[in-house]
Amino acid sequence: MQKAHSGDTSWMLMSTALVVMMTTPGLAMFYGGLAQAPNVLSTVMQSFSIMCIVSFLWFAMGYSFAFAEGSVIVGNSSKFWLAHMDGHRVKDDSEKLFMVYQMTFAVISAAIICGSFAERMRFSAMLVFVAIWHLLVYCPVAHWAWGPGGFLHAAGCLDFAGGDVVHVSAGVTGLVASMLVGKRRSLSLGQELTPHNALLVFLGASLLWVGWFGFNAGSSFAADDVAINAMAATQMSGACGGLTWMIVEWVYAKKPSVVGIVSGSISGLVVVTPSCGYIDQTGAVCIGALGGLACFFSIQLKHVLGYDDALDAFGMHGIGGVLGCILTGFFANKHVSGKEEINGAFYGKPSQIYIQLYGVVVISVYCAVMTFLILKPLDLTLGIGIRCSPEEESQGLDISQHGESLIVDASLLGSPKVVPPLLSALVMVLLVLLVR
């Protein structure tokens, strides 16, 4: 195995850890604060369990489907269980480090979806759905945009850090899933439920912002000028998104809120994701401001159209991702990217807009259709359906799905289940024998 470049490797190791932090605790805390009090632990549990199941599937099969040589649609099985990886390179980093870094993107993509159907989907159904979605939706989409021979990459579709692959795919999936699962029974048309803990939302958003530097700047795969530019663009866009949301909310609601400004910053970070390595500071300011403005109004669509995007996964990630990918076609600058072919309409290549639209439409349609084809049969084959019963939903998913709660006296939850001592002893003996 060749020795990796120490500076680039150190940067990618840190970036990987930063993106892991985005899912847990970042997104888990952000969603947990937005959720209603009886459903906080179930929301956190979704993010953490997704971290576990998607990581395993990525090691076992997902990475090979996404990044192994194959067709223009999907990779082959040559890298199942991380086979045939020694000695290969992605820039100056080992392929195994690249694999782990890309795993974090797969994890957070699946976790984002849960914000759309929060507080009403069965935990077991969520796990099955996420596992199938990861293999049949995320991995092919990642191959299209980033994998060797992927048709979107070959067509010139630009996605520096996951506007299409992460945000559009997760947002559109969340929209379709929320419509199939149905509205929360406690929610009436036009009603906006107050987040149970704004401080938790603030802390989660702050961790997400810090993690986004690994998400965006890390996608350079080197400690170089591209990473520096991506980091600067990320900071500027997040700041302008937050400022724009705060100002608009101040005008409309007469008071700026903590949840509002952090939501605006997240919107700005989402929108700059596909372009951060290709744009200058002017582009970052414009993209961040447009992202905050667009996402502020897009989350109101659910009240008009009647779907229940509980934690605004579609309103922020879906709409933000689509807008960001399209704006990349305007603001991409060959003088920033250092590549003649990476250029947008404002710098002499108007055709890039149509290429970006092509990528958005293809991924959106595929994710919508596949989500329906996965969830609808699941609803019919699981016997009890993918949605919690009215009683379970009224009780809260913390208690009904996990037997624990932040707000209920522990004595009301019943005695915890204890593993029989004989079974514990038997398991320990088997483990000792296996080790020997």
Residue 1: pLDDT above 60?
A: no
- Label residue 123 by pLDDT band (50, 70, 90): very high
Fold of 6-394: Ammonium transporter fold (1.10.3430)
Decide: helix, strand or coil at residue 87: coil
Alpha helices in 188-300 (DSSP H): 198-216, 225-253, 258-272, 281-298
Q: Where are the domains of the chain?
A: 6-394
Tell the burial category of 250 from Cβ atoms under 10 Å away from its Cβ (0-12, 13-18, 19+): middle
Spatial CA neighbour of 332 closest among 118, 199, 157: 157
Nearest Cα neighbor of 68 from 8, 150, 124 is 150
Give the mean pLDDT of 130-156: 98
CB environment 13-48: b (16+ within 10 A), e (fewer): bebbebbbbbbbbbbbbbbbbbbbebbbbbbbbbbe
Tell me how many degrees the CA angle 84-6-232 measures, rounded to the nearest 5. Answer: 105
- Could you report the per-residue pLDDT of 347-406, keeping only the tens digit for each? 999 999 999 999 999 999 999 999 999 999 999 986 678 999 999 999 999 999 999 988
* CA nearest to 354, candidates 367, 366, 345: 345
317 vs 93, more confident? 317
Q: Are 296 and 264 in contact (CB under 8 A)?
A: yes
Residue 287 pLDDT > 60:
yes
Measured distance CA(127)–CA(130) in Å, rounded: 5
* Centroid of chain to Cα 52: 15
Whether 429 shows a pLDDT value over 80: the answer reads: no
Look at residue 65 and tell me whether its pLDDT is greater than 90.
Answer: yes
Please, where are the H alpha helices in 299-350?
Answer: 301-305, 313, 319-331, 334-337
Q: Mind listing the pLDDT tens digit for each residue in 190-228?
A: 677 899 999 999 999 999 999 999 999 999 999 999 999
Q: Which of 270-274, 279-283, 404-408 has the lowest mean pLDDT?
A: 404-408
Pseudo-torsion of CA 206, 211, 217, 223, nearest 10°?
Answer: 120
Query: CB–CB of 177/116 below 8 Å?
Result: yes
| pLDDT, average across residues 139-155 | 97
> 3-class DSSP state for residue 90?
strand
Answer yes or no: are the C-beta atoms of 217 and 227 closer than 8 Å.
Answer: yes
C-alpha distances (whole Å) from 208 to each of 103, 162, 170, 183, 196 are: 17, 15, 16, 27, 19
Query: What is the rounded CA–CA span in Å between residue 58 and residue 52?
Result: 10
Q: Give the tens place of pLDDT for each residue, 392-420.
A: 999 999 999 999 988 765 555 555 555 56
**Nearest one of 376, 367, 379 to 139, comparing CA atoms:** 367
